[in-house]
Structures are given as C-alpha cells and as structure tokens.
C-alpha cells in the first residue's frame, strides 16, 4: 500500500477568481468561481451566499485596452 506524503505534494496556490461561496453549514469559503452563477450553483441547498473576492487580482493583460487620450498642447492638430 502506498501512502501519499504531504511534503511531496505541490505547493497550494491561492485561488484567484472573482467570486467566493460562503457555506452556512460551517464548511468554510471557496473562492474558486469565475462567475456569480457558478458560485450560486455550488451553494444551492446549503443556505450559504456568494460574495465578491476582495483579494481577486486579474491577470496582467486581462481586461479592456485603456482608452486613448486626446492630444492637447502645442502638437495637437486643430480641427479644420
């Protein structure tokens, strides 16, 4: 019989997802949900609730591109 050795397991990484489920039955919190609906599906029947993960940080490069700024000053072109 082979037993799993905890020190051989990989390092646990923090879950970086925007939604957390909080279970009313004392089972704790799980911040592993990408969408609110995933979280709601997980807590269904437990009496728990879903909340935003206040530690969530989107991966670099994620999200919309920054808006371009209008040029003002001596090099700005005036409308014709």
Which residues in the chain show pLDDT less than 70?
1-15, 62-80
CA distance 14 to 76: 47
Both structure tokens of 25: 């039955």
pLDDT per residue over 5-26, tens digit each?
A: 444 344 445 568 999 999 887 7
Listed by start position, the domains of the chain span 13-49
pLDDT attached to residue 59 = 80
User: Where does residue 23 rank: exposed (0-12), middle (13-18), buried (19+ CB within 10 A)?
Assistant: middle
């Amino acid at each position: 019989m082979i037993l799993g050795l905890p020190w051989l397991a990989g390092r646990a990484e923090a879950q970086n997802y925007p939604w957390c489920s909080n279970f009313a039955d004392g089972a704790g919190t799980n911040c592993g949900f990408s969408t609110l609906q995933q979280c709601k599906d997980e807590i269904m029947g437990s009496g728990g609730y879903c909340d935003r993960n206040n530690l969530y940080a989107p991966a670099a490069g994620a999200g919309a591109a920054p808006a371009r700024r209008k040029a003002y000053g001596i090099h700005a072109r005036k409308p014709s």
